Amino acid sequence: MRSSASSHVAEYDAVVVGSGINSLACAALLARGGWRVVVLEREEELGGAIRTAELTEPGFRHDVFSAWHPLWVGGPAHADLGAELSQRGLEYLNTAHPTGTLYPDGEAAFLTTATEANAVELERHAAGDGDAWTRTIAGVGERAELVFGVLGTELWSVAGLNLGLTAYRRLGRRGLAAFGGELVQTSRDWLTTTFSSERVHGLLAPWVLHTGLGPDAAASGFMTRVIAFAIEAGGMPVPRGGGARLVDALVRLIEDHGGACQTTRDVERIVISGGRATGVAVSGGETIAAKRAVVCNVTPTQLYGRLLEPHAVPEEVARAGRQFRFGRSEMQIHFALSEPPRWEGDERLGRTAIVHLTPGLDGVSRAVNEAERGLLPAEATVVVGQPLTVDASRAPAGRGMLWIQLQELPWQVRGDAAGELEVGDGTWSDSLREDYADRIQERIARHVPNLESSILRRVVLSPADLQAHNINLERGDPYSGSLALDQNFLWRPFPGQPGHRTAVDGLFHIGASTWPGPGLGAGSGTMVAQELLRPPAVQRVATRMSRLLRPRRA
């Protein structure tokens, strides 16, 4: 990655704080649009939660945090920049076997990238569920403009209003009301009224965890449908060689268009002059000027508690930003194995990119509830990622690799729901981290008999480790903030300051804490870049008038 900057002070059109996917996508779009842009990252590596490293053993290239890129490949930034990124060395690999769920009794259910095959699989578990799947996919596809429009539009804006009017014209008054109800429906309600089989419920329910929600949370039903459609349509793509290849390509694109990306540049304060953001002050006393915009990819607690001086914004906004709530914490476990994992049961398990271990819908719900009450779940939902099923280049030939994600953990541990582990003072000590990882390892080993005998090295990252690695993973929350309804949709990041514009002219807020929330889709960075690149209103009116007055051809 890029080295730290020299002491030379420069002026840019835009300063982007933080180097996560939203920052890099925003900077790439602005740089390509002719803006002089600089990205400032406080850590030694660019990429935020996208990091690839030989974390365990030489030759094993682990995606340390985020790992799977369906939202990026299916998103607007990739659609716009993909060809140029490919020219800079980015290559995506994919699979027809993206996900499955393995139950404690050894039974499994799977999703592929083919509607017909998925219908057959679901029908195997309950008569009628295959047809229900076909109807679900068709329904999302028929309303894709609205469904994905919600996720790709600045809702608190004229564009958001226009999307609402489009929905009204297409669906009518009653149809719009029904669509609004679908947006806030829980995953439990949607799953149990759509599919008969508990196996099917358990196949889909774990995916709401990947959106920062639980199956009984408002809007989780809508997100379950979106994720199911996206998995079937897009598979589970990853960059050849690791997620950092996406970061490398974006950085090259930015620099090729005259921009800069600098590491070890800790921004301490946003500089405001005449009510407008005019730059940033970095550690060491240097000020970097921004002629047109400052774009911050940070949590609201950082923006309003550290980067903005008191009285820069109304006190009620600053207070609400400082009180922004975070969601459940996460743990990551990385295994380097001497041989590929040998799963018992269905042979498809060994070639599936992501396997969830769970008792089913109620199991996911119970684990979420326990975590939200401060308990270590007795039976967590274990996300078992198998990167080598998609990209064999990430480990030496004949070896194995597992990427484990646990999304149902408390930040402050009050106890163990299983009554087995001593939690001490409730902080994530090294001993608590390893003891809990032992429990998860034992769960996986029940289904992978050669797991423990093949471990070359295991590396565990607790919620405290995640926070130490990345300032935006506050309290070990991988989604940078609770997605409860009052911090979601129109109200993200929080009701007192929705959207990406702030109370300071020229200052924009992007990242997972803002709409459309977490994931690698780069939605917020793309929206802000598009807004900044839009011609001024006077110029837009003049352009329209010139088109109207242009002589028509005979």
Confidence of residue 3 (pLDDT cuts 50, 70, 90): very low
Amino acid identity at 171? L
Confidence of residue 9 (pLDDT cuts 50, 70, 90): low
**For residues 440 and 409, is the Cβ–Cβ distance under 8 A?**
no
Residue 411 pLDDT exceeds 90: yes
Paired residues of 15 in beta bridges: 38, 294
Sequence-ordered list of residues with C-beta below 8 angstroms from that of 10, at least 6 positions apart, any chain: 38, 288, 289
Question: Which residue is associated with the tokens 């030496």?
Answer: 396
Residue 364: what are its φ and ψ, rounded to 5°?
-65, -45
| Exposed/middle/buried for residue 284 (C-beta within 10 Å: 0-12, 13-18, 19+) | exposed
**For residues 183 and 171, is the Cβ–Cβ distance under 8 A?**
no
Among candidates 511, 473, 126, 164, which has minimal Cα distance to 328?
Answer: 473
pLDDT value of residue 543 = 44
**Rounded distance between C-alpha atoms, residue 183 and residue 197, angstroms:** 23
Residue 540 pLDDT exceeds 70: no
Q: What is the mean pLDDT of residues 347-351?
A: 98
pLDDT value of residue 553 = 43
Residue 368 pLDDT exceeds 70: yes
Q: What is the mean pLDDT of residues 114-137?
A: 98
**For residues 327 and 479, is the Cβ–Cβ distance under 8 A?**
yes
pLDDT value of residue 310 = 87
Domains in the chain: boundaries: 11-67+243-325+482-538, 114-234, 332-469
Q: What is the mean pLDDT of residues 86-97?
A: 98
Characterize the bridge pairing of strands 382-385 and 507-510. unpaired
Confidence of residue 389 (pLDDT cuts 50, 70, 90): very high
Residue 165 pLDDT exceeds 60: yes
Q: What is the mean pLDDT of residues 263-286?
A: 96
| CB neighbourhood size of 441 (10 A) | 21
Residue 448 pLDDT exceeds 80: yes
* Omega before residue 493 within 30° of 0, cis: yes
**Rounded distance between C-alpha atoms, residue 300 and residue 429, angstroms:** 27
Residue 410 pLDDT exceeds 60: yes
Residue 197: what are its φ and ψ, rounded to 5°?
-80, 130
358, 359, 362, 364: CA torsion to nearest 10? -10
Instruction: Look at 361 and 542; give whichever has higher pLDDT.
Output: 361
Quick one: DSSP state of residue 393? Answer: G
Alpha helices, H only, 213-283: 220-234, 244-256
* pLDDT per residue as tens digits for the range 452-467: 999 999 999 999 999 9
Looking at 3.90.950.10, 3.10.20.600, 3.50.50.60, 1.10.3720.10, the CATH number of the domain 11-67+243-325+482-538 comes to 3.50.50.60
- Whole-model pTM? 0.94
Confidence of residue 554 (pLDDT cuts 50, 70, 90): very low
Among candidates 267, 294, 295, which has minimal Cα distance to 281?
Answer: 267
Q: In degrees, to the nearest 5, what angle opens at C-alpha 183 toward C-alphas 363 and 297?
A: 85
End-to-end CA distance of the chain: 58
**Rounded distance between C-alpha atoms, residue 319 and residue 308, angstroms:** 12
Q: What is the mean pLDDT of residues 360-372?
A: 98
